[in-house]
Homo-oligomer: A and B are copies of this chain.
Amino acid sequence: METTRGAERQRTAAERRRRELLEAADRVVLRDGPQASMNAIAAEAGITKPILYRHFGDKGGLYRALAKRHTDALLSALRAALDAPSERRERVEATLDTYLAAIEARPQVYRFLMHPSDDAAPSPEQGFDVGRHSAPLLRRLGEELGKVIAERVDLGPDSQQMARIWGHGIVGMMHAAGDWWLGDRPCSREQLVRSLADLLWGRLAEAGDLPGGQGF
């Protein structure tokens, strides 16, 4: 009659094992970047490859599991900033700053999340499968932000559609600017945040033309 108790113990043991493996993978990715090999991860965990494959199926599975952890963590931090009880502009700036601080603190993790080095499927589907390849993190963030906007901002008719578009657009803006900024560090984080918020606040439309060109 030990069957249920034994099974449960084994299940929790497997889960703990899985966490250990993920932590080892985390260390290796942090050290070697996204192109960390399965051999290296297995070695770091003190075991050999086939065990990794039994737990995660293939490299894509491991990477997906790893990405989910970080994505969830970042997402919850962003949600907190997004839900703060303050003015809209202040909240937008706080969210931008949270994101930028996160990628600034752990650039290797960020890089891994954005470029999962071509995930899983060798996909025999040879059709136009563009869309799945881009970093899942950006998609999730975009969808999430779209929902928040749709819930809280009055955009008139077609607001659902427009909110989603804006969600993905704003996330993309944040990501691209952050990626560029992280490379060159041409200014402080505060200035970057303020400039992006200014952009979202319509300063592009309000600004006047400079003399010399035909305007922009």
A residues bordering B, Cβ < 8 Å?
Answer: 31-32, 34-35, 82-83, 85, 88-89, 91, 107-108, 110-111, 114-115, 117-118, 126, 128, 130-134, 138-139, 142, 148-149, 151-155, 158, 161-162, 164-166, 168-177, 179-184, 186-187, 191-192, 195-196, 198-210, 212-216
Contacts and interface: CB of A to CB of B under 8 A. Distances in A.
B210 A166 contact: no
Contacts of A117: 118
- Count the copies: 2
A130 B201 CA distance: 29
Given A166-B204, A171-B176, 8 more contacts: A83-B214, A130-B179, A139-B180, A152-B212, A161-B191, A168-B176, A172-B172, A172-B174
24 contacts: A31-B126, A111-B133, A114-B134, A130-B183, A139-B180, A149-B216, A152-B212, A152-B213, A153-B209, A153-B210, A155-B203, A155-B207, A158-B191, A162-B198, A165-B177, A168-B179, A169-B176, A169-B177, A169-B196, A172-B172, A173-B173, A176-B176, A201-B205, A202-B202
A191 B111 CA distance: 32
Contacts of A148: 216
Given A166-B199, A195-B162, A202-B202, A176 B175 contact: yes
Contacts of A162: 195, 198
Contacts of A212: 151-152
A31 B126 CA distance: 8
Nearest to A180: B168
A161 B111 contact: no
A170 to B, nearest CB: 7
A173 B138 CA distance: 11
Contacts of A191: 158, 161
Contacts of A153: 204, 207-210, 216
Contact of A215 (B32, B35, B88, B180): B88
Given A130-B182, A142-B180, A162-B195, A216 B111 contact: no
